[in-house]
């Protein structure tokens, strides 16, 4: 018996949702008709919003976890005191010199594909 999560993933991977990850696929579900994360303002808003799951390009190693790295964080807060970091549910990111350097480490292509697919599935219900 498949769970709802497994069924959703099967719908995405075994249907026309495959085109979502391609650059030429338009995103008709954003407010301005563009992509979810195509501007710096949208990216800043995403990394600061509580409840968002942020995916990084490379593993990061929170304090005390030299063996276990993470590629995702559930945002619970955001600190900005000259340097910036995302506070997470169980761990925080490292300190970044600027919001721009944090944004460069996020895997926006994966996040765009995943979140766009989720929006399209929810719109069909």
Range of the domain at 9: 4-124
Domain count across the chain: 1
Give the pair of three-digit tokens for residue 122. Answer: 């929810």
Is-contact 77 50, C-beta < 8 A? Answer: yes
Neighbour tally for 106: CB within 10 Å: 20
Give the pair of three-digit tokens for residue 61. Answer: 């190693």
Tens of pLDDT, residue by residue over 40-55, are 999 999 999 999 999 9
At 47, is the secondary structure helix, strand, or coil?
Answer: helix
pTM over 0.85: no
> What percent of the chain shows pLDDT beyond 70?
64
Question: Strand ranges (DSSP E) for the chain?
Answer: 53-60, 70-80, 84-88
């Amino acid at each position: 018996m498949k769970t709802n999560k497994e069924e959703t993933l099967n719908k995405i991977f075994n249907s026309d949702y495959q085109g979502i990850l391609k650059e030429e696929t338009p995103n008709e579900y954003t407010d301005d008709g563009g992509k979810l994360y195509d501007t710096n303002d949208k990216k800043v808003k995403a990394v600061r919003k509580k409840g968002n799951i942020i995916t990084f390009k490379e593993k990061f190693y929170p304090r005390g976890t030299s063996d276990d790295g993470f590629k995702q964080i559930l945002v619970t807060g955001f600190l900005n005191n000259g340097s910036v970091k995302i506070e997470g549910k169980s761990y925080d990111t490292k300190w970044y010199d600027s919001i721009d350097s944090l944004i460069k480490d996020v895997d926006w292509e994966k996040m765009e594909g995943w979140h766009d697919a989720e929006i399209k599935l929810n719109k069909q219900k």
